[in-house]
Amino acid sequence: MSERVDISDISGRKLSGGKSIDTEELTGKTFPYQFDPSLVEDIDLYASTPGEDLNWLEDIELMTEDGIPAVFDRYTNAFLKIHFEIPEGRENEYARKVLIKHLQSGNSYGVWLKHKHAKFPQPELGSWLAESETVGQNWQPPQLDGWQKPTGH
Amino acid sequence: MEQVMQAPTKPGRYDIRGLAEPDAEAPRTAVISGTTAELDAADLSTRRINLELRRLLHEEGVTDITLHNPKARHSIAVGLLLRCRITIEGSLGYFGCGLADGAEIHVKGRVGWSVAENMMSGVVVIDKNAGSLTGAALRGGDLVVRGHVGARTGIDQKGGTIIVGGNAGSMTGFMMQRGRQIICGDAGPGLGDSMYDGVLYVAGKVASLGVDCVEEEMTDADNELIDRKFGIYRLDRPDTFRKFVCGKQLYNYDTLEPSERKLVL
């Protein structure tokens, strides 16, 4: 996995104040592959998905958020904006490659939450990358300090 | 139907996750050979079958499992969130293969309600018939039923492709929001009722259309999709497909809050 981002560091966070909640809002970060198409060129979409075709990526298309091209990350429920110029006719291909790069890099906000909140065993980086660490094997329910179990339970 | 239950080791313990047998453990009875394994489920409870599947996939490095004697139990092979192949030699009950993300599952029998519900990605192939609510709230991936399906197939579907080799019951595509359904046989009354988006292809007769569902011309892209999927799953393609979509007379997305918009993406 790539270097883990410290999500407690919000020094670089810039809130748009808009109606939308995008990945940059949630993480307080942007990522290099949002700006440089060469970083996603070698992504193999077919190898990254189950089955013989694009499978779930068939539903992933280039959209816009705040007037900027963006791809929707359903594992975070947020848009990931794409700031580089996309060649005409390859809009969906680049949207899919940026999304898969984002997921495989472990930068999806939903992936960050897995370490603490996954209740059942699952690969940290989902089904998009082989040899991913397993998380969720030893989940314990959260408990507030000083909380006492109600009688009768 | 026989349902084998294991007595919990600590009766009455409450589990916040709602597990029926919170203290059950994987039986470790599967026969492992390299990256493949054979599991006989004849004497195992639902919980222990699923625990054994997880143990094989997450602890033993197994990627290909054959499950024998499923005995039409409910909720088998659920929540598999990794790339793997599961072959089920028999039939499943309700909610089989649900909540999957990446698994490729082949059921060599029938299935009950809500097979592959909420699947995020992957492939589920059913060799015989499926019950109602097949592919409920499907988010992505391919769900192939070679036989017939019951009512409300793909209810609340938000993505992915459902292929039915036979007939589909009433209210097929009810409240569908994205994705595709390809029905080779007939469709019952109320096809596409209250669908927001997505596409329904039907090769047989349509008993009636639901509210705001209209017919549209097939395009080259539609034919490419059907040809590709039928090639992958080795299905015979009928020549009589018609395409049905949302008429958008009840379409009020512009007034929805951004967060609501994301629910259908």
How is chain B split into domains, by residue range? 25-105, 129-247
Burial class (CB in 10 A: 0-12, 13-18, 19+), B162: buried
Q: A56 and B120: CB-CB below 8 Å?
A: yes
Q: Which of residues B59 and A16 earns the better pLDDT score?
A: B59
**In B40-127, which ranges are continuous DSSP H helix?**
46-58
Note the pLDDT of residue A8: 46
Task: Say if CB B134 and CB B162 are below 8 A apart.
Answer: yes
Question: In which band, very low, low, confident or very high, does the pLDDT at A131 lie, cut at 50, 70 and 90?
Answer: confident
pLDDT of residue A10: 46
Spatial contact of B192 and B173, defined as CB atoms under 8 Å apart:
yes
B232/A53 CB distance under 8 A: yes
Distance, in Å, from the CA atom of B23 to the CA atom of B28, rounded to the nearest integer, reads 15
A44-86 confidence digits (pLDDT tens):
999 999 999 999 999 999 999 888 999 999 998 899 999 999 9
Please state the rounded mean pLDDT for residues B52-61. 96
How many angstroms away from the CA of A114 is the closest CA of chain B?
12
More confident call, A93 vs A144: A93
| Cβ contact A53–B160 (<8 Å) | no
Cβ B237 vs Cβ B226: under 8 Å = yes
Which among B64, B82, B227 is the top mutation candidate for probing chain A, defined by the most A β-carbons within 10 Å of its own β-carbon?
B82
Contact A51 B17 (CB under 8 A): no
Tokens of A69: 């091209």
The distance of A20 to chain B (nearest Cα, Å) reads 6
DSSP reduced 3-state for B47:
helix
Residue B259 has pLDDT above 70, yes or no: no
With CA atoms as reference, the chain B residue closest to A19 would be B258
Q: Which of A40, A105, A135, A55 is nearest to B102 (CA)?
A: A55
Dump the DSSP string for B164-208: ESS-B-TTTTTT--EEEEEESS-B-SSBTTT--S-EEEESS-BS-
On chain A, the residues whose CB falls within 8 A of the CB of B102 are 50, 126-128
| Per-residue pLDDT reduced to its tens digit, A91-123 | 999 999 999 999 999 999 888 888 888 998 899
B102·A153 Cβ contact <8 A: no
Contact B58 A121 (CB under 8 A): yes
Average pLDDT, chain A: 85
Alpha-carbon distance of A19 to A16, in angstroms, equals 8
Which residues 6+ apart lie within 8 Å of B165 measured at CB?
Answer: B144, B145, B146, B147, B184, B185, B235
Structure confidence at residue B6 (pLDDT): 52
Task: Kindly report, residue by residue over B195-237, the tens digit of the pLDDT.
Answer: 999 999 999 999 999 999 999 999 999 999 999 999 999 999 9
Query: Is A126 within 8 Å of chain B by CB?
Result: yes
Residue B48 has pLDDT above 60, yes or no: yes
Q: Which of A64, A108, A122 would best serve as a mutation to test chain B binding (most B beta carbons within 10 A)?
A: A122
List the strands of the sheet with A78-81, edge to edge: A63-65, A68-73, A78-81
Q: Which residues of B touch A56 (CB under 8 A)?
A: 120-122, 139-141, 159-160
pLDDT confidence band for B12 (50 / 70 / 90): low
Best probe of the A interface among B83, B125, B224, B228, by most A CBs < 10 A, is B83
* Res. B2: pLDDT tops 60: no
Judged by a CB distance cut-off of 8 A, whether residue A64 touches chain B is: no
> In which band, very low, low, confident or very high, does the pLDDT at A20 lie, cut at 50, 70 and 90?
low
pLDDT, mean over chain B: 92
Distance (Å) from the C-alpha of residue B188 to the closest C-alpha of chain A? 27
Closest to A41 in 3D by CA, of A87, A88, A106: A87
| Whether A117 contacts chain B with CB within 8 A | no
Amino acid identity of residue B222, one-letter, is: D
| pLDDT more than 70, % of chain A | 86
Number of other residues whose CB lies within 10 A of the CB of residue B247 = 16
Check CB contact under 8 Å for A120 and B259.
no
Give tens-digit pLDDT for B68-80: 999 999 999 999 9
Q: Using the beta-carbon criterion (under 8 Å), do B139 and A123 form an inter-chain contact?
A: no
Of B104, B120, B262, the CB nearest to A51: B104
- Ordered by start, the domain boundaries in chain A are 23-135
Q: Report the C-alpha gap between B161 and B142 in whole angstroms.
A: 5
Q: Length of chain A in residues, anyone?
A: 153
CA-based nearest distance B261→chain A, Å: 10
